Amino acid sequence: MPIINRRFALKNIATCAVSAGAAAVFLAACSPKGASFQGVDVTGADYARDLPLTDQHGQRRSLKEFAGKVVVVFFGYTQCPDVCPTSMGELAEVKRALGADGDRLQGIFVTVDPERDTPEVLKAYMASFDPSFIALHGTPEELAAVAKDFKIYYKRVEGSTPTSYTMDHSAGNYVYDPAGRLRLYHRYGSGTQALAADVRALLDEAR
């Protein structure tokens, strides 16, 4: 998956994209009903199993509680200048495009910068996109465990002052179907239309 930093174009194929792409070759045939998707089909993958983290309201969350919804998970941080707000803005646009089915889409943002992304900061950040979106944070140890399970790369890059650092990180959306199964990986830059089409397809499967 793309690595987001000042040189992210040089790392356009990182850990998860490689894993997702390889998995797609072997697992696409396992997709229910022979569905065809615009994102990378990772149906049957045995990673990215759960998000045992705390949301911006102090509630412990788990993927299983969103049964019946398509869940889209993105890893980033609130001071990311471009890729993160673009991705979350596109997800909010997808929800609006779904109309009445918008309530069946759950957006989840996982911060890779828990030091600066406090619950108050995360509340304000989510409110700027969609009030129903959830932002998750955890201890450094919890984040490391989740990142390992999701094959996410992240690294602090020091700035000119102790608080002006940036975060290199993987970028892309993990998409779960209403049964709670990881089904798709959308690389950054795939666009709103491709994500919306795949969300609709997963919702239609569950009807």
Per-residue H/E/C for 42-85: CCCCCCCCCCCEEECCCCEECHHHHCCCEEEEEEECCCCCCHHH
In the structure encoding, which two tokens stand for residue 186, read together?
């959308």
pLDDT tens-digit series, residues 154-184? 999 999 999 999 999 999 999 999 999 999 9
Judged against a pLDDT cut of 60, whether residue 32 lies above it is answered with no
pLDDT of res. 123 = 97
For the residues of 159-190, what is the DSSP string, one character each? -SSTT--EEEEE-EEEEE-TTS-EEEEEETTS
pLDDT of res. 18 = 36
pLDDT of res. 207 = 87
Domain ranges (residues) in the chain: 3-205
First-to-last C-alpha distance (Å) of the chain: 31
30 is in an annotated binding site: no
Chain-centroid distance of CA 105 in Å reads: 13
Rounded to whole angstroms, how far apart are CA atoms 81 and 203?
32
Bridge partners of residue 105, in order along the sequence? 70
16 is in an annotated binding site: no
Confidence bin at 4 (pLDDT 50/70/90): low
Judged against a pLDDT cut of 90, whether residue 2 lies above it is answered with no
pLDDT tens-digit series, residues 186-198? 999 999 999 999 9
**Domain 3-205, classified CATH 1.10.10.60, yes or no:** no
- Pick the more confident residue, 37 or 6: 37
Q: Which amino acid is at 202?
A: L
φ, ψ of residue 177 in degrees (nearest 5): -85, 175
Do 188 and 171 meet the contact criterion of CB atoms below 8 Å apart? yes
Collapse the DSSP code of 150 into the 3-class scheme (helix H, G, I; strand E, B; otherwise coil) and give the result.
helix
| H or E stretch at 3 | strand 3-4
Judged against a pLDDT cut of 60, whether residue 52 lies above it is answered with yes
> pTM, whole model, 2 decimals?
0.85
